Amino acid sequence: MAIDTLSRPARTRPFSFFEWMVARRYLAATRSGKGVSLISMIAFGGIMLAVAALISVMSIMQGFRLTLLDQLLGVNGHAHIQGDAPLSDYDAVAMALARVEGVRDATPLIELPVFASANGETGMVVRGVRRDDLLKNEFVTGAEHVVDGSFEGFGLGARGGNEIALGSRIASQLGVRAGDPVRLLTGQGAETAFGRTPRSKIYTVGAIFHVGNAEYDAIYGFMPLEQAQLFFGFGDAVQKVEVFVDKPEQIKAYRAALAGAAAGTHVIDWQQRFQSYFNALQIERFAMRLVLFLIIIVATLNIVTGLIMLVKDKTGDIAVLRTMGATQGSILRIFVLSGAMIGVLGTLAGIVLGSLFVLNIDAIENGLSALFRTDLFPAEVYYLDGVPAKLELAEVLVIAGFSLFMSFITTLYPARRAARLDPVEALRYE
């Protein structure tokens, strides 16, 4: 019995140093296996680029969504409370809404379109708000957003004064700067037997702001609430009350309380107003993730090709290892490790490449725009001034996990084929 024990080949532990060493050597170029090494390099490059592309695209889409959402909810209220007729008791309504738990602010508002003319002409939307309420809006009145003039004189003087604020693109279309006059024309004039008569008035541009969203900068202007009541003929009433809450993403949970605080009014939240827009973004994001996951699958399939060629190239080596005592499990693990190394290294390289791209996307976009002498990210098309990107750890972990899972799955068939190789048949023609 002692003799049999000594003559029996010693078995290595699973995933021992021996198996790791052989797996690593099999991936290196040999005189007879240069093609195998080339395929391994192609598989590595494919996985790296696929992972980097998925991280980059999903980060850009998430950044685009979050930036738009921040600007949307920063300039506009999270919910609008309005009745079938103008609200004459808007102060009481605003105070009642402000007492609702989770409501940060309630602002009386008049929002109507006008025609503006100066050195040029354009249509725009005027938002009539109180001075104090507007100064709370950092997206409009923040120091980094005011490009000309100031809001110091906004809302001061008789009936709110004569100063208005314009978006930067409106000011550009009108050809005006701070201090210049602008004529506004509205159809909300006096009621006559023949309908409402147009009304026009000249205002002074007190400030020009830049939100960073091309749509808002080209549409919105602000006017003191008292002046808007006079200009649009609302008397002592307002069109609606704009509500800001602490958790805008959970606006549905506020609807019942808001409706109860302002009886006889309608509640229209931001998800209702922009539902189709954000649904389109969500569907596009899902479809893009699916397409790029398919690219990762295609990239990992190169591992199958490489390992099948590796098994054919190493048939003699496998037979020798088997005759020296290597088990089928050991051969299986060697080829699984060979394929897994490609997947792990490719995934890690892809994470690094994709993360570097996302973190330096502004410099890359500026460099490419300068190189090709064109704006690769026009604000008129994408609404934003720059390429937004948000690198999220959870998204990176999902992408890395999927890539590693596919890399492991694709190694099983060729590794099992190598493990089942008959050493006698393999050595017969050697």
Domain ends where: 239, 264, 289? 264
CB 149 within 8 A of CB 205: yes
Instruction: Specify whether 51 is located in the same domain as 134.
Output: no
Number of other residues whose CB lies within 10 A of the CB of residue 414:
23
CB 208 within 8 A of CB 149: yes
Query: Considering the entire predicted model, what is its pTM?
Result: 0.72
Instruction: Specify whether 296 is located in the same domain as 244.
Output: no
User: What is the model's pLDDT at position 108?
Assistant: 94
Run of H or E residues at 276? helix 275-313
Q: Is residue 74 part of a domain?
A: no
Average pLDDT over the chain, rounded to an integer: 83
Instruction: Specify whether 23 is located in the same domain as 123.
Output: no
User: What is the model's pLDDT at position 335?
Assistant: 82
Instruction: Specify whether 130 is located in the same domain as 212.
Output: yes
pLDDT in tens, 45-82: 889 999 999 999 889 888 888 887 887 777 888 899 99
Instruction: Specify whether 202 is located in the same domain as 120.
Output: yes
Instruction: Specify whether 184 is located in the same domain as 135.
Output: yes
Give CA–CA dist 126/201, Å, rounded.
13
Instruction: Specify whether 222 is located in the same domain as 185.
Output: yes
User: What is the model's pLDDT at position 426?
Assistant: 57
Instruction: Specify whether 224 is located in the same domain as 98.
Output: yes
Q: Is residue 38 part of a domain?
A: yes
Instruction: Specify whether 119 is located in the same domain as 244.
Output: yes
Residues of the chain with pLDDT under 70: 1-18, 28-37, 189-196, 376, 378-385, 422-430
User: What is the model's pLDDT at position 24?
Assistant: 75
Instruction: Specify whether 247 is located in the same domain as 293.
Output: no
Domain residues for the domain of 155 are: 84-264
Q: Where are the beta strands (DSSP E) in 168-293?
A: 181-186, 191-192, 195-196, 199-209, 220-224, 240-245, 266-269
Domain ends where: 264, 290, 319? 264
Q: Is residue 54 part of a domain?
A: yes
pLDDT in tens, 18-31: 677 777 777 765 55
Q: Is residue 269 part of a domain?
A: no
Q: Is residue 73 part of a domain?
A: no
Instruction: Specify whether 150 is located in the same domain as 200.
Output: yes
Q: Is residue 6 part of a domain?
A: no
Give CA–CA dist 355/337, Å, rounded.
26
Domain ends where: 264, 297, 332? 264
User: What is the model's pLDDT at position 2?
Assistant: 45
Q: Is residue 8 part of a domain?
A: no
User: What is the model's pLDDT at position 5?
Assistant: 44
User: What is the model's pLDDT at position 117?
Assistant: 94
Give CA–CA dist 111/209, Å, rounded.
18
Instruction: Specify whether 123 is located in the same domain as 60.
Output: no
Q: Is residue 176 part of a domain?
A: yes
> What domain count does the chain have?
2
User: What is the model's pLDDT at position 185?
Assistant: 93
